[in-house]
């Protein structure tokens, strides 16, 4: 009979090793440079990506694992996201994702996920008013991740996921769809967009995109002091790339301007959605609402893994799409220390 005390010791040791490995991964993570994925399932995904995306009603492809009884198993799968899930007995035999895909002599199972379509949170809905700006003795203001941010005119609302730095400047990061343009780069002559919190201007959007990622940075005014503390979560430790399959099923937290603290789990990684112009996304089951756009997906440390873009519009789904932090920081030319 297994010794209970020894089993607990081994579990605690494994948990400590996993935490240390994630810390090492964060230290090695480079902005805009995702690590090479060597898992056979990823090789199968790359080998079959073009054929899978050519199938009717396929929205995207990525990686996941089999889930049984609400828990992840050790079986990796290639995940195919479709508008509507069709029973296997109704699939045409020519469909390459009927049961499995191959790479070399190895067969990798396929999981078909009914996604419907991408719904981006409605940025015109104002979140509940919260006191996020506190006067300090110096007269400066503090602003925390999870705070609401809005375009001044016309008012559109999102969430600050985290703060970042680049070129000696401080930025707040959120989703680009919070604002009324899809692409913005003031270095090429685009006009900046004013951003506010609780009726007070805190900076301007000077760079943002909805191509590849859905993310924008707000160049903060001098009297706005960034903080790494997320209310009810703790100090942000930095950011990292996610790891497949280790992070599948991992618990995550999000602080949303409307929802407050939310908890969930990662369900898929390395998901490309060409239909939505999104690459290498993270999928997690987190019950976000309008006004939470741009909120940071945080692991247990907490490290920032990604930023909220939108969700599946299937009525029975809670799947949310996040742009990976490493790609967001690369596109926005900044870093989370």
Does residue 94 carry a pLDDT above 60? no
Contacts (Cβ under 8 Å, ≥6 apart) of 297: 252, 253, 254, 282, 284, 286, 304, 305, 306, 307, 308, 322
Residues 236 and 327 in one domain: yes
Contacts (Cβ under 8 Å, ≥6 apart) of 185: 206, 207
Report pLDDT digits (tens) over 14-63. 889 989 999 999 999 999 999 999 999 999 999 889 988 988 889 999 99
Residues 195 and 273 in one domain: no
The mean of the pLDDT values for the chain is: 89
Last residue of a domain, one of 185, 202, 227: 227
Does residue 294 carry a pLDDT above 90? yes
Residues 111 and 177 in one domain: no
Report pLDDT digits (tens) over 196-225. 987 788 999 999 999 999 999 999 999 888
Instruction: Collapse the DSSP code of 89 into the 3-class scheme (helix H, G, I; strand E, B; otherwise coil) and give the result.
Output: helix
Residues 91 and 162 in one domain: no
Residue 103's CATH number: 3.30.70
32 assigned to some structural domain? no
pLDDT higher at 29 or 114:
29
215 assigned to some structural domain? yes
Looking at beta carbons, which pairs linking 16-20 to residues 24 or more positions away fall under 8 Å? Answer: 18/246, 19/300, 19/301
Rounded Cα distance between 70 and 45, Å, is 24
Tell me which residue range forms the domain holding 322: 230-332
Last residue of a domain, one of 87, 117, 147: 117
161 assigned to some structural domain? yes
Number of domains in the chain: 3
Residues 80 and 160 in one domain: no
Rounded Cα distance between 252 and 250, Å, is 6
Residues 234 and 325 in one domain: yes
Contacts (Cβ under 8 Å, ≥6 apart) of 260: 146, 232
Last residue of a domain, one of 117, 149, 181: 117
Look-up: residue for tokens 């994702």?
97
Residue 253's CATH number: 2.40.10.10
24 assigned to some structural domain? no
Rounded Cα distance between 26 and 238, Å, is 7
Give the pLDDT confidence score for residue 88 in this predicted structure: 53
pLDDT higher at 137 or 93:
93
15 assigned to some structural domain? no
For residue 307, give the nearest of 316, 336, 315, 99 by alpha carbon.
336
Q: Residue 89 — very low, low, confident or very high, per pLDDT cuts 50/70/90?
A: low
If one counts every other C-beta atom within 10 angstroms of the C-beta of residue 181, the result is 16
Report pLDDT digits (tens) over 131-171. 444 433 334 455 789 989 999 999 999 999 999 999 999 99
Look-up: residue for tokens 């090695």?
28
Q: How far is CA 230 from CA 66, 147, 202, 295, in A?
A: 33, 9, 18, 11
Q: How far is CA 72 from CA 65, 170, 266, 268, 300, in A?
A: 6, 39, 10, 11, 18
Rounded Cα distance between 12 and 55, Å, is 45
Q: Please tell me what DSSP assigns to residue 55.
A: S
23 assigned to some structural domain? no
Residues 110 and 48 in one domain: yes
10 assigned to some structural domain? no
Does residue 92 carry a pLDDT above 80? no
Rounded Cα distance between 310 and 288, Å, is 9
Spell 247-259 as b/e; 16+ CB within 10 A means b.
bbbbebbbbbbbb
Pair type for strands 148-151 and 183-185: unpaired
């Amino acid at each position: 009979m297994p010794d209970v005390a020894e089993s607990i010791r081994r579990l605690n040791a494994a948990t400590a090793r996993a935490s240390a490995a994630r810390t090492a991964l964060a230290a090695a993570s480079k902005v805009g440079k995702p690590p090479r994925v060597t898992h056979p399932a990823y090789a199968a995904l790359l080998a079959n990506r073009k054929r899978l995306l050519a199938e009717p009603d396929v929205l995207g492809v990525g990686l996941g694992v089999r889930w049984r009884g609400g828990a992840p198993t050790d079986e990796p799968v290639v995940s195919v996201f479709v508008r509507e899930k069709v029973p296997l007995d109704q699939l045409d035999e020519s469909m390459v994702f009927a049961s499995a895909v191959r790479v070399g002599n190895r067969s990798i199972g396929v999981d078909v996920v009914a996604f419907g379509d991408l719904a981006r949170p409605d940025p015109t809905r104002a979140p509940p008013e919260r006191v996020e700006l506190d006067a300090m003795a110096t007269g400066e203001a503090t602003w925390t991740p999870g705070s609401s941010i809005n375009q001044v005119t016309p008012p559109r609302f999102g969430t600050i996921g985290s703060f970042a730095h680049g070129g000696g400047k401080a930025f707040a990061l959120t989703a680009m769809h919070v604002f009324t343009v899809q692409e913005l780069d003031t270095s090429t002559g685009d006009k900046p967009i004013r951003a506010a919190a609780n009726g007070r201007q805190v900076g301007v959007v000077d760079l943002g995109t909805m191509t590849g990622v859905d993310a924008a940075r707000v160049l903060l005014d001098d009297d706005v002091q960034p903080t790494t503390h997320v209310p009810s979560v703790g100090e942000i430790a930095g950011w990292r790339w996610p790891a497949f399959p280790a992070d599948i099923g991992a618990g995550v937290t999000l602080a949303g301007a409307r929802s407050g603290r939310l908890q969930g789990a990662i369900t898929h990684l390395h998901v490309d959605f060409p239909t939505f112009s999104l690459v290498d996304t993270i999928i997690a089951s987190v019950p976000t609402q309008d006004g939470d756009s741009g909120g940071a997906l945080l692991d247990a440390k907490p490290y920032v893994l990604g930023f909220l873009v939108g969700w599946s519009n299937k009525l029975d789904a809670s799947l949310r799409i996040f742009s990976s932090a490493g790609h967001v920081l690369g596109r926005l030319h900044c870093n989370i220390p």
